[in-house]
Amino acid sequence: MPPGASLWGRREGASKAVPERSAGRHLFRGDSLALPTLGYIRPRMKIVHIITRLIVGGAQENTLLSCEGQHDLGHEVTLITGPPLGPEGSLMQRAQSYGYKVEVLEEMRRSILPGKDWKTYRKLIKRLKEIDPDVVHTHSSKAGIIGRWAAHRAKRDGKPLIVHTIHGLAFTASTSAVVNNAYKYFERKTAPITDVIVCVADAMRDQSLAANIGRPDQYVTVYSGMDTQPFLRPPVPRDEVRKTLGLSDDHIAVGTIARLFDLKGHDDLLDLAPDLCARFPNLRFLWIGDGSLRPRFEQRIAEMKLQDRFILTGLVSPRKIPELTNAMDILVHPSRREGLARALPQGELAGCPVVTYDIDGNREALIDNETGFLIPPFDKQKLADALARFLSDPNLRKGMGARGREFALKRFDTKVMIDALEQVYRREARPL
């Protein structure tokens, strides 16, 4: 390698402008990679991922799969995170047992806490200078802002490449307009120091650009990957799982995979439950997940005298999600805010038809009227009608479920995501 050159081919004094890119790029469109799958010998990279906390959630699962896949490719991977605080469960043990480095910054928190945030920023700068990574890839809102500024401050000789993934939009997450506007302001200020903004759905790009965050040529869509094999061949057979859950052969299980929390849409299902349960005696709701609203939901279910129609699993290990999803007959996801809901491809991989509101990136997780039904946002009557169609027609369920599995395998397999991220890193950095 020539004197003064880094892995990225940028010499001292060379321009640090990012390469020219086309607007709205995809590295995966659902049927093939837009660039050839990497088959050459890859130079080893130092990659640092930064995420706010390792609770059980879609963004965290995506981040761990990225770390694992890149570690398997031979890269030197470090994951920096805050403590996994919250009732949602922790993925820390999984991260620490895989073989890449995991470092915990105790000061990093999800809430805006100026004192702790400043300490986090200073510690990240120090640590990034010590690691001297080729790539810093941030995830989630808080770590995305602080981590990118720390990486910018730690830059030397044109590296690290600064990449940020939008899993969900920070400036729509809160019921407080003040908090949302604060995140929108910081995202606008942070975008210019970001080399690449990865979106898990085109909808994230479009909404960000509409909010004047970044330039079109900074964005690339890489759909969130998942380990598909456990959904195709669950470790515990469907009949055995259903028996454990109290489901008989003639029960039709309508499932959700989501925290029992605000904006996840469980209230909508509770509003529809009395009528649907009266019309379909074999209907059972299977809710996978736990959260702070569980007592309220259980009270509503009891008031409606529908305790025998609802199964709430509580908090479960992510490793049990495939077998529980395979116990379902239909997956419904009535969330009111998403990046791209991982529950939708999870349901499809398990052979379930899916029903969801047409919000954010959800329309990119299914084919409307082929693998499931896309419902106008928050139209509970149409949501009920879609569920009723599936509940009354087993052939429709079977046909859409089979097409959904084929669709999800092509778009959401982990290997597709890892290859796409590898291409992002290498193409944007223009290696020698």
Which superfamily, per CATH, for 229-411?
A: Glycogen Phosphorylase B; (3.40.50.2000)
CA 73 – CA 348 distance, rounded (Å): 28
Tell me the CB-side half-sphere exposure of residue 420, using CA atoms within 13 A.
29
How many Å apart are CA 55 and CA 302, to the nearest integer?
30
> Which letter does DSSP use for residue 17 in this model?
P
Q: Provide the pairing of β-strand 310-312 with 161-166.
A: unpaired
Would you say residue 36 has pLDDT above 70?
no
Per-residue model confidence as pLDDT tens digits over 330-379: 999 999 887 789 999 999 999 999 999 999 899 999 999 999 999 999 99
Domain range annotation of the chain: 25-225+413-429, 229-411
**pLDDT band for position 237 (cuts 50, 70, 90):** very high
Decide if 371 contacts 397 (C-beta within 8 A): no
Residue 163, Cα to own-chain centre: how many angstroms?
A: 16
Q: Would you say the CATH fold of 229-411 matches that of 25-225+413-429?
A: yes
Question: Quick one: tokens of 188?
Answer: 């606008």
The CATH class given to the 25-225+413-429 domain equals alpha beta
Give the strand order in the sheet containing 101-104.
25-26, 219-221, 196-199, 161-166, 135-139, 46-53, 76-82, 101-104
Question: Torsion over CA of 170, 174, 180 and 186, rounded to 10 degrees?
Answer: -40
Per-residue pLDDT tens over the stretch 121-142: 999 999 999 999 999 999 988 8
**CA-to-CA distance for 247 and 239, rounded, in angstroms?**
9
pTM of the entire predicted model = 0.81
Tens-digit pLDDT profile for residues 104-122? 999 999 887 899 999 999 9
Amino acid letter at 190? Answer: T
| DSSP-assigned letter for residue 6 | -
The residues near 112 (Cβ < 8 Å, ≥ 6 apart) are 142, 179, 182
pLDDT, tens digit (0-9, with 9 covering 90-100), for 316-331:
988 999 999 999 999 9
What φ, ψ does residue 386 adopt, rounded to 5°? -65, -45
Cα Rg of the chain, angstroms: 22
Q: Are 360 and 338 in contact (CB under 8 A)?
A: yes
135-180 residue pLDDT tens:
999 998 889 999 999 999 999 988 999 999 999 887 765 557 888 8
- Is the pLDDT confidence value at 17 over 60? no
CA distances to 119, 277, 288 from 384, rounded to whole Å, are 49, 11, 20
Following DSSP, what letter does each residue of 203-222 receive, concatenated? HHHHHHHHTT-S-GGGEEE-
- Judge residue 374's burial from the number of C-beta atoms within 10 Å of its C-beta, 0-12 exposed, 13-18 middle, 19 or more buried: buried
Q: Which one, of 145, 167, 162, lies nearest residue 222 by Cα?
A: 167
Predicted pLDDT of residue 26? 64
What is the pLDDT at residue 38? 45
Query: CB-based contacts of 271: which residues, under 8 Å, 6+ apart?
Result: 380
Share of the chain above pLDDT 90, in %: 76
User: In degrees, to the nearest 5, what angle opens at C-alpha 184 toward C-alphas 366 and 160?
Assistant: 85
> What pLDDT, on a 0 to 100 scale, did the predictor assign at position 14?
32
